[in-house]
A and B are shown apart, each in its own frame.
Chain A
Amino acid sequence: MQIRFEHFAVTEMMGEPDSPPRANGTLCFTNDWERTVFGMALALAREGHFEWDEFRDELIAEIAAWEEANPVDRSGWDYYERFLAALEKAVAKSGLLDAGDMATLLADLRAA
């Protein structure tokens, strides 16, 4: 039996710089948007829109950039904010969304 993609993708992160927060053996989401953004990244990679490792490279780079910018006071740390920023980059690089789409996204955001 093949290992499921979800299983492979998440266990690959364990113990690495991009390990997601967990509690009691399960993924740990404080807010619903965190669950959504994690699920979107997994779903897009599973459907082949980008490689999971490419996404993880973006995430690890986002985390490193944040740590470099916040060497002392890390009270503002938020794993899923970095995750969202990495997903936005991965989506843009994959060509899933073009300039018109991005304009729509920004308009939606202003309206939200």
Chain B
Amino acid sequence: MTDRFKYREDREAYSAARVRALEALLIQKGILTDKSVDTVLGYFETKMGPFNGAKIVARAWVDPEFKARLVADTPAAVAELDLPAGMAGAEGEHMRAVANDPGVHNLIICTLCSCYPWPVLGLPPYWYKDPTFRSRAAREPRAVLAEFGVDVPESQQIKVWDSSAQIRWFVVPERPAGTESLSESELEALVTPESMMGVALAKAA
């Protein structure tokens, strides 16, 4: 074996320098511009991601009528909010929200990894596509949720929603107790992707 993977002392700085040199050269040759990286990554950082889901859930928490509309017709309700264009796009147009309440806890799973409400939840965690997770979540959701640290009381029913190419589910978690005085934007900060997948509860900060 060669020393191909032998590490330098200045490993990080060396990688950073290599990337800078490559980018500079590609810009100099007119292949990229100094905006290219920000443009493609802006899509993930500002347009499509869990911050959209957090806005939808926070609105549902402060406006029960919006919440009712959201569950009845998710795309129409989402369109009421000032979210980036494309929210109701190829995936978004089939989005469906399900709301947790004291009687029901909802959990989303998927058959294929691409079936994920990406515009509102962002990128899925690594275990989401795991066949073991998927089959166990369908078969014994209460046990799987307990392993996630979510102890669902026996009095609460668990519903498992399998996303497909037609429908992408996401969960509206229950508003945490003690958050009555928080503003809508403060509430947004309490909404995690995991809570919108149903593998966590939203918690007061």
Residues of A within 8 A of B (CB): 1-4, 6-7, 10-12, 14-15, 19, 22, 24-27, 31-33, 35-40, 42-44, 46-47, 49, 65-66, 69-70, 76, 78, 80-81, 84, 87-88, 91, 96-97, 101, 104-105, 108-109, 112
Contact = CB atoms under 8 A, between A and B. Distances in A.
Given A6-B40, A19-B126, A105 B22 contact: yes
Interface in B75-125: 86, 88-91, 93, 113-114, 116, 118, 121-125
Given A15-B113, A22-B123, A91 B40 contact: no
Given A31-B15, A112-B20, 20 more contacts: A3-B91, A4-B43, A4-B86, A6-B43, A11-B116, A14-B113, A14-B124, A14-B129, A22-B125, A27-B41, A31-B16, A40-B32, A43-B39, A70-B5, A84-B18, A97-B26, A97-B29, A101-B29, A105-B22, A108-B20
Contacts of B126: 15, 19, 22
B21 A26 contact: no
B45 A26 contact: yes
Nearest to A27: B44
Nearest to B41: A39
26 contacts: A7-B43, A7-B91, A7-B118, A11-B118, A14-B113, A14-B123, A15-B124, A15-B126, A15-B128, A15-B130, A19-B126, A25-B124, A26-B123, A31-B12, A32-B16, A36-B19, A36-B37, A42-B40, A43-B37, A44-B26, A46-B40, A84-B15, A84-B19, A88-B22, A97-B29, A101-B29
A27 to B, nearest CB: 6
B192 interface: yes
Nearest to B119: A7
A44 B31 contact: yes
Interface size class of B (residues with CB under 8 A): 35 or more
Contact of B193 (A24, A46, A80, A87): A24
Contacts of A70: 5
State the main secondary structure of chain A at its contact with B.
helix
A109 to B, nearest CB: 5
Given A15-B128, A26-B49, A80 B15 contact: yes
A3 B36 contact: no
Given A33-B20, A91-B22, A43 B124 contact: no
B178 to A, nearest CB: 23
Most A Cβ at <10 Å: residue of B5, B7, B126: B5
Given A3-B89, A3-B90, A26-B123, A108 B50 contact: no
Contacts of B38: 39
Interface in B1-33: 1, 4-5, 7, 11-12, 15-26, 29, 31-32
